[in-house]
Amino acid sequence: MHGEYKEYKQILKNMLNEDRYYHSLCVADEAYRLAQKYGADTEKAYLAGLLHDITKNAPKDVHFDIFKMFGQEITELEENAPKLWHAISGSLYVKNILRIDDPEIIEAIRYHTTSKRNIPFLILILYLADFTSADRDYDDVDVMRKLVDVSLDGAYKYALEYTVKDLEQRNLPVHPDTVDAYNEIKNKEI
């Protein structure tokens, strides 16, 4: 059984809309399940899942205030990709305002959107839980859910291919960390 985290849940309720709060609970549950199945730290996975989208509903100026407050530099690509802001501001918020001092959890939140090369196990669990949580409803979600119970690498490859194709279709820039993760998994025998 994982901790209840009543205080964090109250903070999330105040910061997120109803759908996003529900998503956070679902990702926490799914991260816990995957951690248990594949042998990661279930408590850390649950907490990372719970908090991963904490700044997702914040307006632009709040993200940028957080960057400024904690001396976070961002690249031009990041500045122009609103979907990437919450991973950066969320990790800063959890570290500096909630004062969670577990570097693995902070890093997992930081890279949960793009992933990166040489992804630590906890980030992989969170990254995939974000795709397969109970609230998710996108084309291919059934494929992803089946894959994730068969092979983490297979699901990870599928998720990165899906993301890169989706960004290409929407004419959005692919972040260098996403490119690194994609190229790495492409070169791996699965």
120 binds ligand DGI (CB under 6 A): no
CB of 1 to ligand DGI, least distance (A): 25
CB of 50 to ligand DGI, least distance (A): 13
- For 102, the 3-state DSSP assignment is coil
The residue with tokens 């976070």 is: 72
- Looking at 69, 141, 172, 190, which residue binds ligand DGI (CB under 6 A)? 172
Alpha-carbon torsion, ordered 166, 148, 124, 38, to 10 deg: 180
Query: Are the C-beta atoms of residues 124 and 156 closer than 8 Å to each other?
Result: yes
When asked if residue 12 is in the footprint of ligand DGI (CB under 6 A), the reply is: no
CB half-sphere exposure, 88, CA atoms < 13 A: 23
Q: Which does 154 bind (CB under 5 to 8 A by kind): ligand DGI, Fe ion, none?
A: none
Could you say which of 33, 44, 95, 175 contacts ligand DGI (CB under 6 A)? 175
Select 42 or 113, whichever has its Cβ closest to Fe ion.
113
12: helix, strand or coil: helix
The Cα 110–Cα 91 span in angstroms is: 5
Binding stretches for ligand DGI (CB under 6 A): 53, 56, 81, 83-84, 87, 112-114, 130, 163, 167, 172-175, 178
